[in-house]
Amino acid sequence: MSIFLPDPVVKRLPMYYRYLSTMEQQNKSYVSSAELSLATGLTASQVRQDVYSFGGEGRQGIGYPVSELKKHIEKLLGIHQTRTMIIIGSGNLGHALMHYSEFSEKKFEIAGVFDVNPQKIGSPIGTLTIQDLENLESFVGSHPVDIAILTLPAVHAQAVAQRLYHCGVHGFWNFAPVDLQLPKNAAIVNVHLDESLELLSYHLMHPEI
Amino acid sequence: MSIFLPDPVVKRLPMYYRYLSTMEQQNKSYVSSAELSLATGLTASQVRQDVYSFGGEGRQGIGYPVSELKKHIEKLLGIHQTRTMIIIGSGNLGHALMHYSEFSEKKFEIAGVFDVNPQKIGSPIGTLTIQDLENLESFVGSHPVDIAILTLPAVHAQAVAQRLYHCGVHGFWNFAPVDLQLPKNAAIVNVHLDESLELLSYHLMHPEI
DNA sequence: TAGATTGTTAATCGATTAACAATC
DNA sequence: TAGATTGTTAATCGATTAACAATC
């Protein structure tokens, strides 16, 4: 198992995983780099280089075994194991993610939802009850939590992230429009929706040929 | 105004814009590449190279004028003008984006919401009413629409995107876990939440040092 | 003037692409 | 065997970093 993977390769792993999942459902047993090239928009050469770099194995003259390669990527991504998540902030986005059905299929489970608004604390959300953010440390102390989903206002994100880090939560899926400053062993992935939309605006201004 | 900007630079524009906005609010008039380096995590050299490449101007010995640089990026991104959007799919994510308050402040307006579910059609959503997807073409024909937000099931995304493209909508903010195949003058930005979460899982598996 | 910081070219680094031998 | 396609090294391309002259 390779120690180091370049960041561009890592970022492409989920996409490979998605196409391989689709192909597996279609009972496709082997896929060539040429076919993956067509699906992903990458060059066939890059597909081969990627698979080579992350240690996947194919059969010359035949292609890559779909299920096997999928399982290999699954392990690299660590999505063969179940992850426990909590949601911080029960606003619109928090609610949407609470009910986002893709998660359960993919072994990501939501174990708690927290808010500071007294109006919301105690009210039901899915099969759970919104808890007071005051209880964060005690909850995390008694339940294993892998990932915190941050859907709270930007001004509070950094402080809450620090509290989470200090009680042992090292994974952050951050929807607040700020960059979190945490020790480098924290795993942070940002979903900056405002920036994403601004990027779309740019491409509308500057369409390709 | 530069004709071509490399993709990595374009992707950093929204981040520069965010930091410059914050600094403007703090009444900071000039910012150096060293300060931007600290904030963004990029090197000062890269900040200067970026600004140089997208045609921003600073003052030697002083730094970059915050408001001026912000306005410059604003124009590049095209977010000085108002954009009209419609939402396709009034599920959890569609609802959340409908109420996402960041938009209105930033000149992105939602003009319509569409669904195929007869139970939902006709019911209110914010200040609007959910419309039948059948009415898509007639609505777009009589209202200017810049961007379609796709929050519908993956299996229907491609077909609806094609309908939209053919009636003149060329901007797609795609939340469905598929890659859309459209003519290359279409502007597509994907928000693949499942892939984003899988990437986080990878980083949890392989923390930095 | 001295100090600070940009503007801009050149050097370096790393990612992508090309090529083709290996082999199924 | 002939054809197809991977595995792997080398070449190329482009992005980042370094350097320093220009100038505020």
* Strand-by-strand arrangement of the A171-174 sheet: A124-125, A128-132, A108-115, A83-88, A147-150, A171-174, A187-190
Residues 6+ apart with CB under 8 A from B101: none
Residue A101 CA to residue A92 CA, distance in Å, equals 16
Using the C1' atom of nucleotide D15, identify the protein residue whose alpha carbon is closest: B8
Contacts A14 to B, Cβ<8 Å: 192, 194-196, 198-199
* B129-174 residue pLDDT tens: 999 999 999 999 999 999 999 999 999 999 999 999 999 999 999 9
Residue B138 CA to residue B143 CA, distance in Å, equals 9
Q: What are phi and psi of B115, to 5 degrees?
A: -150, 165
The beta-carbon contacts of A137-140 under 8 Å, at least 24 apart in sequence, are A137/A163, A137/A167, A139/A86, A139/A112, A139/A114, A140/A86, A140/A164, A140/A167, A140/A168, A140/A169
The single-letter DSSP state of residue B3 is: S
| Confidence at residue A103, expressed as pLDDT on a 0 to 100 scale | 75
Helices (H), A107-179: 136-142, 154-166
| Confidence at residue A2, expressed as pLDDT on a 0 to 100 scale | 52
Mean pLDDT of all residues in A70-84 = 96
Pairing relationship of beta strands A147-150 and A128-132 according to DSSP bridges: unpaired
Asked if residue A113 lies in contact with residue A90, where contact means CB atoms within 8 angstroms, the answer is yes
Mean pLDDT of all residues in B5-31 = 98
Residues 6+ apart with CB under 8 A from B39: B19
Nearest chain B residue to A94, by CA = B96
| Confidence at residue B1, expressed as pLDDT on a 0 to 100 scale | 47
Q: How far is A195 from chain B (nearest CA, A)?
A: 5
| Confidence at residue A1, expressed as pLDDT on a 0 to 100 scale | 47
* B108-133 residue pLDDT tens: 999 999 999 999 999 999 999 999 99
User: What is the reported pTM?
Assistant: 0.96
Residue A43 CA to residue A32 CA, distance in Å, equals 12
- In three-state secondary structure terms, A188 is strand
Nearest chain B residue to A105, by CA = B194
Query: What share of chain A has pLDDT > 70, as a percent?
Result: 97
* B31-90 residue pLDDT tens: 999 999 999 999 999 999 999 999 999 999 999 999 999 999 999 999 999 999 999 999
